[in-house]
Amino acid sequence: MSLRLDGKNALITGGASGIGRATAIRFAQEGANVCVADRQAAAAETVAAEVRKLGRKACAVTVDVSNPAQVQAMVDGAARELGGIDIVLAAAGVSAANYGEGQIQPKFLNELPFEEWRKVLSINLDGVFLTCQAVARKMIEQGRGGRIIAISSGAAKIPLKGSGDYCVSKAGVWMLMKVMALELGRYGITANAIGPGVIDTPMTKDIQASRQLERMIRRTPVGRIGRPEDVANTALFLASEEGSYFSGSILHPDGGVIMQ
């Protein structure tokens, strides 16, 4: 039986950990070559090494996705190293402006400093736009179609008090994919979003350290927190031939939370 992504080339931002890392490994297991892009250079190279152990080509790129010049260099480098780009997963993101710098404190929008709002939007939404725009141009130039996939969130549909910047950024990602689906379909390019629930990643460590996690699990019909592999498998479906008739959609690997 042939592998589902045999011979395909994938670029993954936020690929050094969590959902991005799990997807890089899953794609490689199914035959894809992978460029792992992240702000954390050493961690990105570690994931690229894991991809190579699976017998695929891999490269690691250090990038700030909110920087247009760095994003363009990332896309050009990935295409050069892998021989083109067939799939992109835009997974780089933050849960708050001080993500990775200490405990996150929820802030209502009327209290949120503009610079914090801009930082979250610049990474979560501008970064996805810049990445997917540059990849779309490359895919059109290549003339062989492609798959654009972006990580949104269940928070694109369910508002969360104290996380308005995050919610708005993720809702924007979903709309961005819908507009791209309309505009890029004629080139054989699909565009879809994934809206995970609570997933066991570094981004949710604050939730997992509090009683909030227990409440979320009680609200989840399947009765557990999600695994990065749950989201990676969703991305695999959208990237593979089985997902070829999906475009402009948002899929929710969330254990059933969003339906309530």
Residue 250's beta-bridge partner residues?
193
Q: What is the 3-state secondary structure (H, E, C) of 120-142?
A: HHHHHHHHHHHHHHHHHHHHHHH
End-to-end CA distance of the chain: 39
DSSP per residue, 9-64: EEEEETTTSHHHHHHHHHHHHTT-EEEEEES-HHHHHHHHHHHHHTT--EEEEE--
Spatial distance between the Cα atoms of 125 and 150, rounded to a whole number of angstroms: 10
Burial class (CB in 10 A: 0-12, 13-18, 19+), 167: buried
Which amino acid belongs to residue 194? I
- Establish whether 187 is a catalytic residue: no
Which among 99, 166, 187, 245 is annotated as catalytic?
166
Contacts of residue 104, Cβ cutoff 8 Å, sequence gap at least 6: 95, 96, 98, 206
Cβ-count burial 6-23 (b if 16+ within 10 Å, e if not): eebbbbbbbbbbbbbbbb
For 255, the 3-state DSSP assignment is: coil
Structure tokens at 144: 């062989």
Burial class (CB in 10 A: 0-12, 13-18, 19+), 142: middle
Catalytically annotated residues: 166
